[in-house]
Structure 1
């Protein structure tokens, strides 16, 4: 009797482990911010289910734990960042680097204001609030330059992980005061609280805040030849995993491109 019980328990354990192993092979765990990343993944979920995969989306509003988590193997991939942000992470973590799995979309950043309705209205000495993420600083200054508010020094690489605001501006005729003391996810809250004159905010946070980047910004970034493509990031060792390849194929598919185009009406652009 005892032998029978032991064999039964052993078989149940083996079958359980086999089921877990099989499940792990078909479950894809991705860390993502809510809008548009998780929404895009949820659209991809149905397509992946048809291929026998279960996509689990782990929602975060934090920019700084998804890369270490994927590097540590706590998730299969993440989907929240643009290429320069990933480059900056890889530079700082040479032993735990991630690679690009898929290039999915572009979220144009915009210039927002509560008291101004156009670039021409901006007063001398206006405060400009941008994120404390260095990987966004060159992008923010490039936006101000495109709006004609500043000029940048020749040869400046706006995507550099070591971009330096102080040494990059050539002229600042309106004497704009740049502030970089707010994390990216708090910029929309600062805007709603009227903490500055101008705000440079990424479209994902604008959308999460219930605003429309195309109509609520006073100036918005061009998307042609834009280097700030949002990507799926994975460990290099997982890049050839069948489930990761399936996820990449879906995220780069025409079906997802059409979803992005139809869902966001220009606020988010397929890559």
Structure 2
């Protein structure tokens, strides 16, 4: 009788250990599928949609979103672990941030899209109409400042020095034939500033939120066929997490055909899908 009890106890103990190990593995698997994505504006809306999608579930991802509207703060929150991955910045913004924050660097997980930057005006219908001495509003953060200036150069309004880079600014202008004046603004306020400043450069995310369509409402914009790799948006994480397999799944998820169909319909084709390896951008 005693032997029977011992055998029964051994079986129960073995089953308990098996169940605990199994539950532990399941809990670990569930934990590995959890990810907090920090974002802002239309990017936040996209990831809120993706978080609820069956495609996310199919990849075993449990996505939560967190809104942080300041880009530098969002990157800092990512390096400090407040969010796991962020979705808002261009490759040039990412590079500029890492140069300015060598002790808190980010790693790029993959590319998402390119959306054209536009030059807007309520006074002028084309770039050639802009008169001498006109004030132009540009972004006051390094990466977007340089992008704005490059577009103004592309439009034929200014000339920049040959080694102009992502940290460049108005001091790098070598020719300004129309004696343009530059007003640096918080780039999220562009549409409001448009009422007071004759020419304003506005990112597409900000423009869309104000009912502006870069392809139809701007007087000049980045062309989708030009070399704009610095302006491609990426997913970023803390450098220590660059090989995290769960976070890497987000890149695949973003480029899912059904997700892309939703994005193109929702944003009128202004978020142009770019599915490149980070190594292609890092050349």
Tell me the TM-score normalised to structure 2 length.
Answer: 0.80
Distance 1:258 1:151 in 2: 39
Match of 2:234 among 231, 234, 240: 231
Structure 2 match to 1:31: 38
* Closer, same or farther: CA 263–222 of 1 in aligned 2, 3 Å: same
Q: Aligned-pair RMSD on alpha carbons?
A: 2.2
Q: Is the 8 A contact 1:100 1:232 kept in 2?
A: yes
The answer to whether 1:41 aligns with 2:44 is: no
Unmatched 5+ stretches in structure 2: 1-19, 275-283
- 1:65 counterpart SS class: helix
Distance 1:50 1:253 in 2: 11
Distance 1:139 1:240 in 2: 30
Unmatched 5+ stretches in structure 1: 1-13
Larger Rg: 2
Q: CA deviation at 1:209?
A: 1.0
Q: CA deviation at 1:89?
A: 1.3
Distance 1:96 1:152 in 2: 30
Q: Is the 8 A contact 2:113 2:234 kept in 1?
A: yes
Structure 2 match to 1:206: 207
- 1:64 counterpart SS class: helix
Structure 1 match to 2:103: 95
Structure 2 match to 1:78: 86
Distance 1:151 1:157 in 2: 10
Structure 1 match to 2:6: none
The answer to whether 1:139 aligns with 2:147 is: yes
Q: Is the 8 A contact 2:159 2:175 kept in 1?
A: yes
Structure 2 match to 1:124: 132
Q: Is the 8 A contact 1:131 1:184 kept in 2?
A: yes
Question: In the comparison of the two structures, how many residue pairs are matched?
Answer: 248
Distance 2:101 2:128 in 1: 43
Q: CA deviation at 1:130?
A: 0.7
Distance 2:32 2:119 in 1: 44
Distance 1:42 1:139 in 2: 28
